[in-house]
A = this chain, B = another copy of it.
Amino acid sequence: MPPGAPRATVVLTGNELLDGRTRDSNGAFVCEDLSRRGVKVMESLTVADDRERFSACLRHALENEPDLLVLGGGLGTTHDDLTAECLAEVLGVPLEEDPRALAWVEEKMREVAARRRLDFDALFVLARRQARLPAGSTPVPPAGVAPGIAARAGTTRIFAYPGVPYEFRHMWLETAASLERDGFFPDVAVRTVRIFGVGELQVGPVLDALPQDRVELGITVGGGEVTVRLRNRREAAAEAQADDLVAALEAAVPVYSTDGRTVDDLVADGLRSRGATLAVAESCTGGLLGARLTARPGSSDYFVGGVISYSNQAKMDLLGVPADMLTRHGAVSEEVAAAMAEGARAALRADFALSITGVAGPDGGTPEKPVGLVYLGCAGPDGTRVRRNGHPADRDTVRTFSATSALHLLLAGLAP
């Protein structure tokens, strides 16, 4: 992060986050959002629902005098919900019932009671607890039932939200919009460069050969891609340095996107702008590519469907792959990948079709066809292309990488 960026700390509370029951999503969300806004997150602390440890964590967080302290969880109605209490203790103030918070809680509980046909008074006795805030703090309007808390400790702005992901996200984004209006976030430019076809070892030296003291660089490797994120203040010298770094990457390695769009975005945009349709034929991925394509709202504009041809019988019956081709070359072969793509294109009446057939492992590999060997096919109006992948890895990695590779094969065919 460029020098002078605001610094933030995140504190999450909840036993379920520490015993394997629930995987954190709030911390990941707010860290990414803060980072995108030019804030440097120094620490993200997850602590059990334990009065002493929670308070110790808050003290530790405040010692560092971050500009922002974001808290998630612990604002519910049970005795395990300790955020207001621990925050009050650390700030050295008592808890007080806040009239605005109380009015919000009452309104929300009347809605809940009416919807679920429950007794309002019984619910309100419990929920009323959520209107008790550290003295001097301000309630944040709830997205669910529990109000949040806005407070100050020295120069640190503190915001606490409930742990329910929908509520946390909604309330944080409201706060962020208000901080944005106050000019809290620095004027930072973020660029994301996406690279497919080489590894980190080929990317690093390209960057290291150029000055980069005005740009914060982050390199990530995952799903068979290398992603370089550049962040800099919006000022001429820093912008020029970032421009040079991006240009050097484009000259040296296979950059496919410099505007943040993923291969999924580019495939969707490319199909839509051509008015073209897509089908899939999946063997070892079993539907993963189709699931990924349809994760996007509106994908029915271009995605028509596909065939999961996990068995050889299905490859023959539904995709018209010839039996003797399967016998001669095996299901994991260039020939079958091409026939699957062509079969799906015909069966689904699509403009393009992608196929995937391979050995995902952990079993089923042979010396000739080891785990990780995957053939990808792309059939389109201009013919059929096949690509071979051969990286040994675990089942999940092989499958994910296969889906990504298939999208890149299509993207190359969609290029104007």
How many copies of this chain sit in the oligomeric assembly? 2
CB of A249 to closest CB in B, whole Å: 17
Q: Is A381 an interface residue (CB 8 A)?
A: no
- Contact between B286 and A317, CB atoms less than 8 A apart: no
In the bound complex, residues from chain B placing their C-beta under 8 Å from that of A23 are 28
CB of A92 to closest CB in B, whole Å: 20
A286 and B290 contact, Cβ closer than 8 Å, known pairs A40-B48, A229-B21, A313-B349: yes
A304 and B310 contact, Cβ closer than 8 Å, known pairs A21-B220, A60-B60, A318-B347: yes
CB of A165 to closest CB in B, whole Å: 10
Could you list some 12 contacts between A and B, CB below 8 A? Answer: A19-B31, A19-B35, A22-B222, A43-B48, A280-B308, A285-B291, A287-B289, A288-B291, A294-B310, A297-B362, A303-B310, A304-B311
Among A50-58, A145-153, A382-390, which stretch is in contact with chain B? Answer: A50-58
Report the bound CA distance from A363 to B395 in whole Å.
Answer: 34
Number of A positions contacting B (CB below 8 A)? 78
- Contact between A35 and B18, CB atoms less than 8 A apart: yes
Report the bound CA distance from A276 to B15 in whole Å.
Answer: 41
Q: Is A16 an interface residue (CB 8 A)?
A: yes
| Among B45, B284, B347, contact of A317 (Cβ-Cβ < 8 Å) | B347
| Among B56, B64, B311, contact of A63 (Cβ-Cβ < 8 Å) | B56
Q: Is A32 an interface residue (CB 8 A)?
A: yes
CB of A366 to closest CB in B, whole Å: 15
11 additional A-B pairs beyond A291-B399, A305-B308, beta carbons within 8 Å, are: A19-B31, A20-B36, A41-B48, A42-B53, A56-B64, A280-B308, A286-B303, A287-B287, A294-B310, A297-B361, A300-B311
